[in-house]
Amino acid sequence: MSTLDIKGLQVSVATEAGFTEILRGVDLTIKSGETHAIMGPNGSGKSTLAYSIAGHPKYTITGGSVTLDGADVLAMSVDERARAGLFLAMQYPVEVPGVSVTNFLRTAATAIRGEAPKVRTWVGEVKEAMKALNMDTNFAERNVNEGFSGGEKKRHEILQLELLKPKFAILDETDSGLDVDALRIVSEGVNRIKGNSDLGILLITHYTRILRYIKPDFVHVFAAGKIVEAGGPELADKLEEKGYAEYTTA
């Protein structure tokens, strides 16, 4: 049983006009096996929260703490955070020209597991995970995210989630840009991974659509850089009906 604990997190970003505060004290505790949905309007700071936990250099932490089983996540480098068990499925996965998916996955698995996976079992493992996500085998020979469609990018993120087996996964708008079929495949992937592990999930989304497939235990409403309301799955239904107006005009 692991715990990801976010306390009073404040984050700024450097802009041409100086530092702008984006996160204004975020409190959130996620335990293994739990699924927390964070829902909020565009620009409320959801991706900033995701990137700050993962350690993106653009964001400056100005207050608060993030700990994983008591260990100070904010003191770790980006790769150390991943090796400690955090995974971020990005809203906009990055192209890496000239680096094949095969090479990338194997390098990442080697880093996370602390040793190179055995060639024989690894090839099977990758093939099976790709098949489960309805990915063509020639996908592995393509360059990371280069020329991928929106759906392919998101599947590739979930493929990594499956192979790298983190303790906690942050899924940043994994549903955006997906058609219904792709959304179902990706969601089933997440549910399968969760079913086979003790994964804790922070599911960031703008729309309630994905929550029909991935059932959250907790729902948090995010507005203007912090959590403004928390509840159970019923909160998502309310947002579905009424939208974010009540939180943004307040």
Partner 1 sequence: MSTLTTNYLAPTGREEAWRFTPLARVGGLLDPSTAIESVNSLRITSPQPEIKLSVKSAENLPALSESDDLATIRAREVIDEVTHIEVSANAQISEPLIIERSGLTGKPQASRTLISCGVNSHSTIILNNNGDAILADEIEFDLAPGSNLTFISLQEWSAKAVHLGRQHAVISKDATFNSIVITVGGSLVRLLPTVEYSGPGSSADLQGLYFATDGQHLEHRLHVNHNVPNAKSRVNYKGALAGDKAHTVWIGDVYIRANAEGTDTYELNRNLLLSDGARADSVPNLEIETGEIVGAGHASTTGRFDDEQLFYLSSRGIPAEIARRLVIRGFFAEIVGKIKNEEIENRLMDRIDSELAKVEA
Ligand X SMILES: Nc1ncnc2c1ncn2[C@@H]1O[C@H](COP(=O)(O)OP(=O)(O)O)[C@@H](O)[C@H]1O
Residues that bind partner 1 (CB under 8 A): 54-57, 77-79, 81-83, 87-88, 90, 93-99, 103-104, 107-108, 111-112, 143-144, 160, 164
**What is the helix (H) or strand (E) element at residue 227, kind and residue range?**
strand 226-231
φ/ψ of residue 165, rounded to 5: 45, 65
- In this complex, which beta carbon is closest to partner 1, that of residue 56 or of residue 194? 56
Asked if residue 42 binds ligand X (CB under 6 A), the reply is: yes
Going residue by residue from 19 to 38, which x/- string records binding to ligand X, judged by CB under 6 A? ---x----------------
* CA–CA–CA angle 237, 250, 66 (5° rounding): 75
Mark the segment that binds ligand X (CB under 6 A) among 46-54, 99-107, 117-125, 229-237: 46-54
Residues 51 and 103: their CA atoms lie apart, in Å, by: 24
User: Out of 10, 35, 44, 52, which residue is the one contacting ligand X (CB under 6 A)?
Assistant: 44
Please tell me whether residue 47 binds Mg ion under the rule CB under 5 A: yes
- Sequence-distant (6+) residues with CB within 8 A of 10 are 21, 23, 24, 25, 61, 62, 63, 64
Q: Taking CB under 6 A as the criterion, which residues in 55-84 touch ligand X?
A: 58
Q: Which residues contact 132 (CB under 8 A, 6 or more apart)?
A: 162, 189, 192
- Whichever of 135 and 222 has its CB closer to ligand X, that residue is 222
Select the residue interacting with ligand X from 2, 3, 12, 13 (CB under 6 A): 13
Q: d(Cα 15, Cα 101) in Å, to the nearest integer? A: 34
Task: Tell which one of 47, 174, 205, 208 touches ligand X (CB under 6 A).
Answer: 47
